[in-house]
Chain A
Amino acid sequence: MMEALNGLLTGFGVILTPANLYLCFLGSLIGTLVGVLPGVGPLAALALLLPVTFTLSPVGGLVMLSSIFYGAMYGGSTTSILLNIPGEAASVVTCFDGHQMARQGRAGPALGIAAIGSFIAGTLGVVIMTFFAPAIAAVAIRFGPPENFALMVLGLVCTLFMISGSTIKGVLMMALGFLTAAVGLDVVNGHERYTFGSVNLSGGIELLAVVIGLFGIAEILSNVETMAKSTLLADRIRGLWPSLADWRASWRPILRGSGLGFILGLVPGGGPVTAAFMSYALEKRIAAEPDRFGKGAIEGVAGPESANNSAVAGSLIPVLSLGIPSNPVTALLLGALIIQGIQPGPLFIAQRPDLFWGIVASMYIGNVFLLILNLPLVGLWVQFLRIPYRVMFPVVLLLCVVGTYSANKNVFDLWVMLGFGVGGYVLRKLEYDLAPFVIAFVLAPLLEQSLRQSLVMSPDGVMILAKRPVAALLLAASVVLTFLMFRRRTKNEGGLP
């Protein structure tokens, strides 16, 4: 405890210089912008800015890069809520309820709760990081393929609860998500599946192109259809700030999202994207009225937006205390450290306390910067909704195209976006829920890989899942939940689901 406080003091000593504070602010600002712009995710931004950090001090460079990472989690919700286009992958779920809130004139409270939830989760994440980083890292790393598999199963079972409307349609959408995710290289033997000899399909179908198509393009198509009304949301903007009732509904999801996100950021293979999806599934599962989800429930914004922020803090722990990146963005941070001539590894905290604690301290400050940056912006963003839609939609379309293309610079992704845009529009008309599709699509590769890894490393087949206590526990929970769901569904629908 004392050690951590001393370390933190060292960290603030390092960080409270005008130059480092400036870099922290700059990173927060860039991160917010990167989050707001669809397609330009934190990974692309960090890669672009990596050469700039060569000329900075190691502390300065790292502080800036990491603040871009968590800053993007703040900004990501903006376009999700206002335009139904996810600003980056971790904010896909925010579209589900956030945009519905905006349609009901409640964009302000949605944006506000996203910013405040992000702040609370980000800060809680850093607090845990301050006191327990090394200990936690040592435990998290034990999390192997069987545990990951069990976790993904639990996530999918929660997704079943998320299905609104017809169960058959929901399960169908999940199956479609699995099938779409199967396109590309087989994770185990490297063979191509469902690629029909196309080089473009051999890398699999790009998540970003899918979600921008399903949400952004499909949204444009629906809106253009009803262009008769001149603005997206007319003058129905009700209140800029979350009301007392909003707070009462949100504080528990924020705390749960913080905890869940932190854990999912920590374990290998997890990260902000999975964290946001799982948090949404969890909130819907435990909600008193799950039917409100997808129709503008504030919990559906508060939980995931908190989860993706604390996942960032969680994912920085293995990279800083063990030198193990748990997702591509932290791998890039590791690259930045190596370019600076610093080898992160088990000795990092002992050898470079100034750097480790400097980054931790900067995260406290960066989160405050981000709150100050984002709250006043809420009022401004909401004004965007007053712009006539005939002016707005070409801009939105441009954002979709640029965002999709800039991720991989592959024109094929644009066709994917368009295809899923039209598909998403048709599915909406037929009242299919898109959420289960996206969740299955995100979780399927992890699920498949961890199951097949488990089976390869197991001397006695599937028994490995029962022999590892954590995996067994998670699987048991999944079974119980499935049973409960069947009972509820059969009761509600008066027959088999």
Chain B
Amino acid sequence: MNYIDAFRDPAVAKQFVRLIAEQGRALADQGRRVHIMEVCGSHTMAIGRYGIRELLPENVELISGPGCPVCVTDPGYIDAAIALAGKGAILATFGDMIRVPGSTSNLTQCRVSGGDVRVCYSPSAAIEIAQSHSDREIVFLAIGFETTIVPVVSIVDEAIRAGVRNVSLLTAFKLVPPALHALLADTEIKIDAYLCPAHVSAIIGSQAYEPFAADYHVPCVVAGFEPLDILYGVNGILAQMLKNEARVENQYARVVRRAGNPKAQARMAQYLEPVDAVWRGIGVIPSSGLGLRPEFAGYDAEKKFGMPVHIGQQHAGCRCGDVIKGKLRPIACPLFSSVCTPDNPIGPCMVSAEGTCAAYFKYALRDVQQGGET
């Protein structure tokens, strides 16, 4: 574990905090406020867990982005899953999904009223369940960004090899770059720089962010999830901003290559093709998702059971969409902590362990009393 401790060294952290403070002051002297979007839910959690917001100067603000795959799942997807459970399918899912609100219900309620919903830690569990229940249909809730997509799609690969036919995927895979593009194109949202995801970048490569730096003049820094990674990343962004530069900087070079992971990319291309995807709170973003290619229709739950996913209904007061887009701080949402809590989540940002609202509720010391429009 010394490898982890090296990235949590308090003395080095102090140095970074000092550098960040100096650069923040220099920017403040120019009358500049800096809005950095941390794209990934794991960054949001790490920032909360290590109290990093507290260490930053007043004019440097971290805004949480849409990078939690659970949070951006549309209610219609949950509705479709519940309908499949109602037809007798076993639903296999990652844990966070079981409390995500659908239009009228969620998977926890579905399980209480007799639906067979099983929480898995690994996609390979889907094959095991399918083999031990050969008389039942197993539907794996296939959500996730680039990092998660390859292991999940390996279910199809394994099923084909093992001759397992009673397993399928209900896909809602999402891609990070199209969402980042949509956010920059939205003139209502102020984003000065992207702190780019760690693990997603390991798959897609740091080159995926080059268009944002070139077309929108937005510094993009790829950073790991350890506290020093994040401080180093913020420091790198401020340095670029002071010099009025905008380039992609890969500070997570111990894992991320410019071209990413070609093997993983090839595997994705083999099984999946781009589709338009619904992002909760954002809406449909063209070609921002991946679905199974037609030749794998037998493993595509929507096609196999003839049950297409429709866009669902959200709670009227829920402003998760604005939170996901970085337009609203969680605490400015009228539902936050009064109606919507981790025990009774109304919106997906409160459900997932990596959701922005959950992170604020769980860790925030300072922000809870302040206003939230960004």
A and B interact physically: no
Q: Which residues of A contact B (CB under 8 A)?
A: none
